[in-house]
Chain A
Amino acid sequence: MTNALYIGIGPIIAVTLGVVVLLMVEVTLHPATRVWRLISFGSLISGFILAIVQWADAANNPQPIFSHMLMHDGFSAFGSIVLIIVAALGLLVAWPLVENDRARGAELVALVLLTTIGLMLLVSAANLMMVFLGLEVASISLYVIAGFIRKGARSNEAAVKYFLLGSFASAVFLYGVALVYAGTGTLEITAIAGPQFAGLTQTPVLLVGIGLIVVGLGFKVSAAPFHMWAPDVYQGSASGVTGFMNAGAKIAGFAALARILVVSFDAQRGDWGPALAVVAALSMVVGTVLAITQTDLKRMLAYSSVAHAGFIMTALVGGGAGIDALWFYVVTYAFQVVGAFGVVAAISGVASDESALKQYVGLGRRSPFLAGVLSLMMLAMAGIPLTAGFAGKFGVFRAALEAGYTWLVVLALVASAVGLYFYLRVIVRVYIDQETAEQPRVVITDGMRFALTTVAVLTVAFGVNPAPLLTVVSNALPF
């Protein structure tokens, strides 16, 4: 059916149109920043509506489109919906950064939209070449976003480090794709598992290819031991965009990993399952232990994101049965990250490249709203009941238990308990510690307040009643 072609690519086209219109209007008319907002949010909202349409349509006739380049299914549609929401929230938080830089603001908005397009392609790709292209579109935009504040030495370091290590990871991923092609003779994700390749399942060249693909995507989602870049990059990038950078890469990276491993390489689960479990365990331990010693909130959140990459990966060790748990965790975590970095942006300025924990002393009195949101995000990341973090952790642990990885779940429980220490430490700083010096007053924009309220409400709502989201993600499976 040709309709699926247009419905399936609708959200991507909508956001792409936003980029083109924004750049052309900016070049020719130099409009007020209000117009940038109109164009970017207009394209995101129409993309959101089209993604809902795609979701409704994909439930009835999921199918590959563009000669097996993209997949029109619930998995793609749900990923696009979440990515567009995260991009919109990220733009709201980053908006002061955009408006402060009249000369380059429109370009920053365009880059955020371009990253979103790349991430949506990554989620929807049905062909390993398409996965690579989506990865590159998203990554290259993110390298530039990381280096946006040119006058900060840390920002320059972050951009160069991200670019060099990221290109290396992309090359590793591409090498893995080439080896998979050498092993099976096809790049289509659904065809790799087809019956004609049944005899090839354990060839070394294919296993090495799978390994390199896991390494390449593991880098993008900052799983240990490929996480070295994350603290420096997330600290060095402008606070206004860090939340989006982190959340977007996590959602799409894990979605692509899940689709490739579950759809293409389910027959080799006995080989990649244990490897994934080791990476997950290492991420949880390294992320948690190193987060304890941090004195900068952005670095702490970066290490905590390494630990969360481990928790999310735990859902995948059992193969396809864990995909709904993975979706639930990654979606709720994305909102928490956007919220936490949004508060960071409000406290230490959208363009800052550091955020020392001592800036947060006495925040409870200076800004009860920000203090409340930050504390809620910390509790959710720690996995306290009645927040979305608890339901998410519960889901991934159950998926791993059902797959027989009891040791991994025990380790994850210990890591969660240790993690409580540094999450609660932030709350202690905010509410209990006494101010020694007068801190500047906190002002936040309406957009930021709206984004943070949305994130907080969603985090509590999904925590108190996870059933609606669980129903949705149980339908967001790859075709």
Chain B
Amino acid sequence: MTELVLFVLFGIGALAGAIMMVISRNPVYSALGLIAAMFSIAVLYVVNGAHFVAAVQIIVYAGAVMTLFLFVIMLIGVDQPEDTSEQLPIQRPAALALGALLLVGFLIVIGAGTLAGSDEGSVVGTVEAIADELFTNWLLPFEVTTLLLVIASVGAIVLAQFKLRDRR
């Protein structure tokens, strides 16, 4: 029952986010819609017992990829008028055709009845299993990646600070 409620709630959330992303005129709203859609999908993963995939979905897609998108949007500037004319005349019919194809694919899969929730314990890539590996066998590589983060921030300072001082 909980599963169904969550599915309906966050399914609607994902759909609403996706629609908002496509139709909104302001690119920032589009990005927010995409975040909402990705977050809702992550909740669906949790419901299906795929906790690790859900965490990755949040960290990588809703976190890192979206931050990158937002950087691009900020760099381009939100106040600039968008060129909404379509360069490729085939784009719209092609999108409709591919969308229809995807729908047919989903309907076939659903019709075949192979969609089932997870059985408890059947999931291999659980968070516990990954954490076990990460904090025992792969502890040192995991720690060394922190050095990469330090280098990234130190490097950003080294390369950016010069310009900052130059402009003054």
Interface residues in chain A, defined as those with a beta carbon under 8 Å from any beta carbon in chain B:
9, 16, 19, 23, 66-70, 103-104, 107-108, 110-111, 114, 117-118, 121, 127, 129-130, 133-134, 136-137, 140-141, 143-144, 147-148, 150-151, 159
Contacts and interface: CB of A to CB of B under 8 A. Distances in A.
B148 interface: yes
Chain B interface, DSSP helix/strand/loop, else mixed: helix
Given A137-B147, A140-B151, A67 B158 contact: no
B163 interface: yes
B150 interface: yes
Contacts of B150: 19, 23, 114
Contact of A104 (B136, B137, B141, B161): B161
A130 B141 contact: yes
B155 A144 contact: yes
A133 B144 contact: yes
5 contacts: A104-B161, A111-B158, A130-B144, A147-B158, A151-B162
A16 B158 contact: no
Given A67-B136, A69-B140, A70-B140, A104 B147 contact: no
A137 B151 contact: yes
Interface residues of B toward A: which range?
Answer: 20 to 34
B151 A114 contact: yes
Nearest to A16: B147
Contacts of B151: 111, 114, 137, 140-141, 144
A104 B162 CA distance: 8
A108 B145 CA distance: 20
A133 B139 CA distance: 13
A280 B145 CA distance: 33
Contacts of B145: 133
B167 interface: no
B159 interface: yes
Given A107-B154, A111-B158, A140 B139 contact: no
Given A67-B137, A129-B141, A140 B148 contact: yes
A121 B151 CA distance: 15
A108 B158 contact: yes
A104 B136 CA distance: 37
Contacts of A133: 141, 144-145, 148
A123 to B, nearest CB: 14
A220 to B, nearest CB: 16
A110 B137 CA distance: 29
Contacts of B154: 23, 107, 110-111, 114, 144
B162 A150 contact: yes
B162 A69 contact: no
B4 to A, nearest CB: 41
B95 to A, nearest CB: 33
A137 B159 contact: no
Given A114-B154, A117-B147, A133-B145, A103 B161 contact: yes
A130 B141 CA distance: 6
A144 B141 contact: no
B92 interface: no
